[in-house]
Amino acid sequence: MGQRGEYVQRGMNRYINKTSFNRIKFPEALLPVIMRLVIVLLCVYIAARCINLITNNKAGNVAGNVVSDTSRIIAKEIVENADLMTQYMLYVENHGSMTEGAKKELLNALVTDYLKHSEYTYDTSDPGYSQVINLIYENSNYQKEEATTKTENETKSKTVAVQKVSNKVIVPMPKVNGKLYNANNIGNFSQIMDKFYIVTNATTLSESDMPVKKAMSEKFKITGNNKKPQILIYHTHSQEEFSNSNKNTATTIIGVGDRLAKVLKEQFGYNVIHDTSKYDIVNGKLDRHEAYDQSRAGVKKILKKYPSISLILDIHRDGVNEDTRLVTEINNKKTAQVMFFNGMSRFKNTGDIDYLYNPYLYENLALALQMKANAESYYPGFSRRNYVNAYKYNLDLCKQSMLIEVGAQTNTYQEADNAAEPLARLIDIVMGKKK
């Protein structure tokens, strides 16, 4: 990258360390080569346009005032720096949720660090300095909008299916909006039960089942690489619908599974299998009496074929009173609430159910607790209380298994679909390699 490229990277790092994006490493190395080339060419265009404006003393049309001679020198040197502009454009491209102020703050950090090592000595308190930042920002933004408009016009001629495939899913790293829970501050067992859990009268959950500090300290990880399947999504109750579902399965819980798989693949790079088998259909009719037995057999076959799978998700939709709405708002989208579900393989009155023995009961409980705790930290209001009932629900098929209820029959399909994004982010926070 060269010496000046190193200064640019330092500026990028300085900005990242000050923001909520500090959990995400700058993804330049992961981007396709063609994307880099496109952005470099875009930067060249922006540079030429900026220099033209600066040279002809027309910068005031953008910045609002006449730019000083010093400022013109600064701007010319900056826009000609490919490393700086490329890194700026790449970072903005991969963090679509950045505010206008955050973009300018990033640009300011990059430019300030660059100028410290420039052959010239510039006073960043010069009134023209802010004009330079505005000039570069406005021109880069203008070009981005121009390119977006062109792309949208070209896309109109393509089919809807092609559009869906080509749209990259972006889930921004959320800020800590609540309390950031850990093993030391989450509270004791009694406090957790009061805040985070519903245990039905059919079963019991004791501290010995889930020692809090141990559970919160447990390390979960999606193992392997994405060359082999890592995550399995399936639906024991595949026919669960939403308030506006139609005959298209894409508007049912299967569609939510599709969305979750897409986000986990495209945003986080996991290898995901989505099993869309209809385990609750018998002889062409809805029949849930043996749905768990049917899904168990199906999942076992998949695990036998793909032993690399280390996380299993059974995605459901809950049933509630018709006047109940399980909705919150995340990233300006109406989003269905989720619920993490555990089975104890135990009746309250008669004790453990031997024929439903689950060797991974503790791990199941610990994983659900960590998901709930992180949901409260990053997306307050997104998750309902963890629900605990008597049976096993096939959670013994894998040490890292979850049954998750996404919304209810009173939610729209779009609300449930929107829930897939924060849910995928939470999975990556709890189980991702980059914690």
d(CA 417, CA 317): 11
3-class DSSP state of 335: strand
Q: What is the CATH number of domain 189-431?
A: 3.40.630.40
51 by Cβ neighbours in 10 Å (0-12 / 13-18 / 19+) ranks as middle
pLDDT in 10s for each residue of the chain, 435 residues = 554 455 555 555 555 555 544 444 445 455 455 566 656 566 656 656 655 555 554 444 443 444 455 555 666 566 555 456 655 666 666 555 567 777 777 777 667 666 655 554 555 556 566 666 666 666 555 444 444 444 444 444 433 333 333 335 568 888 888 889 999 999 999 999 999 999 999 999 999 999 999 999 999 999 998 899 999 999 999 999 999 999 899 999 999 999 999 999 999 999 999 999 999 999 999 999 999 999 999 999 999 999 999 999 999 999 999 999 999 999 999 999 999 999 999 999 999 999 999 999 999 999 999 999 999 999 999 999 999 999 999 999 999 999 999 999 999 999 999 999 999 999 999 999 654
Question: Residue 279 in contact with residue 297, Cβ under 8 Å?
Answer: no
The domain limits of the chain are 3-161, 189-431
d(CA 239, CA 333): 25
Question: Residue 388 in contact with residue 205, Cβ under 8 Å?
Answer: yes
d(CA 317, CA 309): 24
Q: pTM of the predicted model, to two decimals?
A: 0.63
Number of residues assigned to the chain:
435
- Amino acid sitting at position 342: N
Tokens coding 303: 């695990």
Tokens coding 212: 């809090």
